[in-house]
Amino acid sequence: MHRTHRSTCALRTRHAFTLIETALAIVIVGTGVVSIVSAQQAFFKKNEWSTHASIAERLGNEFREMTWRLPAHDPVTGTTFWGPEPDENSVEDYDDLDDFDGEGGTGTIWSAPLGNGPLAAARAVITNMEGWSQEVTVQCVDPFDIVTTVDDNGSDMIRVLVTVRFQAIDETTPREMTRVSWLAPK
């Protein structure tokens, strides 16, 4: 009977965990949970960035599509005006590329806070795009060195640059998301 008592005690001690084993198991499981949560957070950040990048490319290409068939200069007044002609008061009136460089050749900005954008290829404001803006500049460039800008009407080659920016609610300044540029001969 003495022998039976010993084997019963041995069985009891084998089925229990020590405090140190329990603490180690908690640390291992806790580390696993923290790493999964961290991985999910990284995924969400990357997903947000990729969503913003694709929206920015879309907004840049909307302008390219809008201006694809426009001449460099006004079909009636030619190179007399750089920027919108006096009778062109809205984007629906713009009939050439240099109109999009704005008054004084400083570019135009199309954004929700200004109430005029961002714009789609059909020249309509895209709704529910708070925080997004499209800045369009049109410049004459040297046809043999397209990175060198020249005076307005100083070249037969025009570069259109659309800079798309996004400003989140919690950000103080908009951040540049993409630039879309293309060349157009006069």
**Residue 122, CA distances (Å) to 68, 92, 111, 118, 152 in order:** 12, 9, 16, 11, 27
Q: Is residue 18 part of a domain?
A: no
Instruction: Provide the pLDDT for residue 117.
Output: 87
Q: Is residue 165 part of a domain?
A: yes
Instruction: Provide the pLDDT for residue 153.
Output: 86
Q: Is residue 134 part of a domain?
A: yes
3-state SS record for the chain: CHHHHHHHHHHHHHHCCCHHHHHHHHHHHHHHHHHHHHHHHHHHHHHHHHHHHHHHHHHHHHHHHHHCCCCCCECCCECCCCCCCCCCCCHHHCCCHHHHHCHHHCCEEEECCCCCCCECCCCCECCCCCCEEEEEEEEEEECCEEEEEECCCCCCEEEEEEEEEECCCCCCCCEEEEEEEEEEEC
Instruction: Provide the pLDDT for residue 3.
Output: 58
Tell me the C-alpha distance between 39 and 166, whole Å.
Answer: 25
Q: Is residue 25 part of a domain?
A: no
Q: Is residue 176 part of a domain?
A: yes
Q: Is residue 43 part of a domain?
A: yes
Instruction: Provide the pLDDT for residue 8.
Output: 56
Q: Is residue 159 part of a domain?
A: yes
- Parent domain of 133: 34-185
Tell me the C-alpha distance between 154 and 142, whole Å.
Answer: 8
Domain count, the chain: 1
Q: Is residue 29 part of a domain?
A: no
Instruction: Provide the pLDDT for residue 185.
Output: 87
pLDDT tens-place values along the chain, 186 residues long: 555 555 555 555 567 788 999 999 999 999 999 999 999 988 888 888 899 999 999 999 999 999 999 999 888 888 888 999 999 999 999 999 999 998 888 899 999 889 998 999 999 999 999 999 999 999 999 999 999 999 988 888 999 999 999 999 999 999 999 999 999 987
